[in-house]
Structure 1
Amino acid sequence: MTIEERKLHFIKLGEFLGEFTLINKDSAKKDTRNNVFYNELNHKISQAVHYNGWFTRDNVIFSLQQWSEALTKPNLDKWLKDYSLAPKTPKTVAVIMAGNIPLVGFHDFLSVLISGHHVLVKQSSNDKQLLPVIAAYLMDIAPEFEDRIHFSEEKLENFDAVIATGSDNTARYFEYYFSKKPSIIRKNRNSVAVLSGDENKKELEALGKDIFRYFGLGCRNVSKLYVPKNYDFKAFFEAIFPWKDLLNSAKYANNYDYNKAVYLMSDFKLLDNGFLVLKKDEGFGSPIASLFYEEYENKEKLQEILKRQEDKLQCVVGQSFEVDFGETQTPKLWDYADGVDTLKFLEEL
């Protein structure tokens, strides 16, 4: 299978996911050729939502839509143009996936296959319903993938390299266990937003997406704000108010109540709008339904702080920063997790 053939197959997958998300919005007619995959994906979404209380149908559909928009010919051409993915003996790459948000490991799955290697997938128990349907669709339109895609529930064996994502604790285990294999090991990271006080309503509303999409569980979700001294949070709270319906989720509401109670009992000074607690804190990983914030005096010193902490940060959002407001959950194919070039790693195997 040539690189051009592989690209065409993933473009076809993108079209299928696009059709599926449109159908779920009642704005397209179902392609009868894909009925079995539409029905199976719908079924697996229902199972995923039932199994994992943090998954909602809206969030799963959002994830599928983002991948449909990413898997286009212009995007794939732009992503792959600087790599030499010439035919060579394929390697088997084990991919150990996290399960914090829907299809969080799909980029690694895509990268391994598009580079011409075989993928051995170890899914998280929190997100194991969706990817097998996508894999089955790929194998249906391109039977060559049948020998290139494998899932494992057991101990991983017979692989040449590994890409593993987990917590700081599991990363230490991964580093020890896979020390003799070429590897990419990812640890905990968080994202932050820098506010100047000059943001307009549209920008602050977009920031709400960065904070609340997927209940804030992703490493690209903003978990901390940097604000100027004496910053007035009134406009920020007004802009994010539409996300108040998150309290309809029992899991989110329970976390809001619990974390607020813990902070209050500890005599922390809080800001609270009824569904989000803001706590002044130098840390990055704020608990669910809470957001850390820290004041800064000037942007030059703040830039130095962020530079020193870059190994803990996934995204920095803000005016004149690397990611625009509202864009954290719509990364491009070339926006690599932890800044590690996955395709270069795979190219050099």
Structure 2
Amino acid sequence: MLQIEIKNNFVELGKFLSQFSLDTNQQNDQVKHNDLFFNSFVDLIALSQSHNNWFTPDNVHFSITSWAEALTENNLNQWLSAYNWVEKQPKNIGLILAGNIPLVGFHDFLSVLISGNNVLVKTSSKDDHLIKFLADYLIALDARFNEKITFVEGKLEGFDAVIATGSNNTARYFEYYFKNKPSIIRKSRNSIAVLTGKETPEEMILLSEDIFRYFGLGCRNVSKLFVPKNYDFQSFFKGMYAQKDVIYYEKYANNYDYNKAVFLMSNFQLLDNEFLTIKEDTSHASPISSVFYEYYEDLNEVKTRLIQDAESIQCVVSNGIIENSVYFGQTQKPKLWDYADAIDTLEFLNSL
């Protein structure tokens, strides 16, 4: 398949996804294969939480909408224009996907196919249905995808290169097992927000989205704050109040109760608003329902720290005081060219 053909099919997929939102599912007669897929996708979205308790309708729809907005001809053209493409024999690229948030591995799936390669996908049991459905839709658009997309149930074999995502522990296994193959091995990362105390109420509400979207389970979720000495957390908690209803979700509430109890039994000093605890801690990785923070006196010290800890940080949120930072509320809306772990996936695939 030519790249332009693959690209056009993903544009059609984006149009299909654009029909679905939390408020309403609106069929567009111009979208291809709605007769086969529209109602089935509505049903799958409704069933997603039974497949993974964290995949609430709100979060599944958020992911779908994000991909609908990304898969436009303009976005795909801008993304692909940064590379020199030459026609060559397709390679078989193995993907080992995470399952922490809906469609978390879709960018790798897209990257492999749009680079002209074949994809061997080993999904997580926690996110096993959505990506397979979208693959079926692509095959309906063009049967040649049947030869390019394979879902692997057992051992991953017959691959020329691999992209694997997991925890720090599984990454060590991946690095050993795939040591003789070109690979991208992704480990655990967290995201950081750097505050000045001069943020607007609107920015704090947007920050609540960066913290709570997907219940904080994604690597792009903010789990750590750097705040100036003597920072008044009142404005922070006012912003977080926009997410107050999260405590009514039982699975989240159970984590809140458990982690708060663990902290209190360890005699840690906490700030608490009855659905989020914040704790002074040097670590970047906080548990569900909690955010860590550190004080700073000199912003340059924070910048140095961020450089030192770059291998464990996915993205940094600020109002522009940190170079290349993400603005409030945007962490879960990466562009196609915002690569995980700052590793250019298309450059890797294009070099094979």
The reply to whether TM is greater than 0.5 is yes
Structure 2 matches for 1:212-291, cutoff 5 A?
212-291=212-291
* Residue number in structure 1 paired with 2:185: 185
The answer (yes or no) to whether the contact 2:27–2:38 under 8 Å persists in 1 is no
Specify the SS of the correspondent of 1:192: strand
The answer (yes or no) to whether the contact 1:103–1:130 under 8 Å persists in 2 is yes
* Residue number in structure 2 paired with 1:71: 71
| Paired-residue identity, % | 56
Q: In structure 1, what is the Cα distance between the partners aligned to 2:60 and 2:285? A: 24
Q: Provide structure 1 residue ranges, at least 5 long, that are not aligned to the other structure.
A: none
TM-score normalized by structure 1? Answer: 0.97
Structure 2 matches for 1:1-349, cutoff 5 A?
1-21=1-21, 24-26=22-24, 28-31=26-29, 33-320=33-320, 321=322, 322-349=325-352
| Displacement of 1:249 | 1.0
Specify the SS of the correspondent of 2:334: coil
Aligned residue-pair number? 347
| Displacement of 1:74 | 1.1
Q: In structure 1, what is the Cα distance between the partners aligned to 2:279 and 2:342? A: 29
Q: Provide structure 2 residue ranges, at least 5 long, that are not aligned to the other structure.
A: none
Specify the SS of the correspondent of 2:255: helix
The answer (yes or no) to whether the contact 2:211–2:222 under 8 Å persists in 1 is yes
Q: In structure 2, what is the Cα distance between the partners aligned to 1:9 and 1:71? A: 10
Specify the SS of the correspondent of 2:19: helix
The answer (yes or no) to whether the contact 2:19–2:25 under 8 Å persists in 1 is no
Q: In structure 2, what is the Cα distance between the partners aligned to 1:29 and 1:64? A: 15
CA deviation map 1:97-152 (0-9, x unaligned): 00000000000000000000000000000000101110000010111111000101
TM-score normalized by structure 2? Answer: 0.96
| Displacement of 1:27 | 6.7
Cα distance change, pair 176–51 in 1 and its aligned pair in 2 (3 A): same
The answer (yes or no) to whether the contact 1:85–1:116 under 8 Å persists in 2 is no
The answer (yes or no) to whether the contact 1:17–1:67 under 8 Å persists in 2 is yes
| Displacement of 1:153 | 0.8
Q: In structure 1, what is the Cα distance between the partners aligned to 2:6 and 2:307? A: 38
Moved over 6 A (4+): none
CA deviation map 1:222-274 (0-9, x unaligned): 00010000100111111110211111111100110111111111111110001
The answer (yes or no) to whether the contact 2:93–2:163 under 8 Å persists in 1 is yes
Supply the RMSD in Å over aligned alpha carbons. 1.1
Which amino acid is the alignment partner of residue 278 of structure 1?
A: I
The answer (yes or no) to whether the contact 1:3–1:85 under 8 Å persists in 2 is no
The answer (yes or no) to whether the contact 1:45–1:129 under 8 Å persists in 2 is no
Q: In structure 1, what is the Cα distance between the partners aligned to 2:197 and 2:303? A: 17
Q: In structure 1, what is the Cα distance between the partners aligned to 2:224 and 2:302? A: 14
The answer (yes or no) to whether the contact 1:20–1:38 under 8 Å persists in 2 is no
The answer (yes or no) to whether the contact 1:219–1:314 under 8 Å persists in 2 is yes
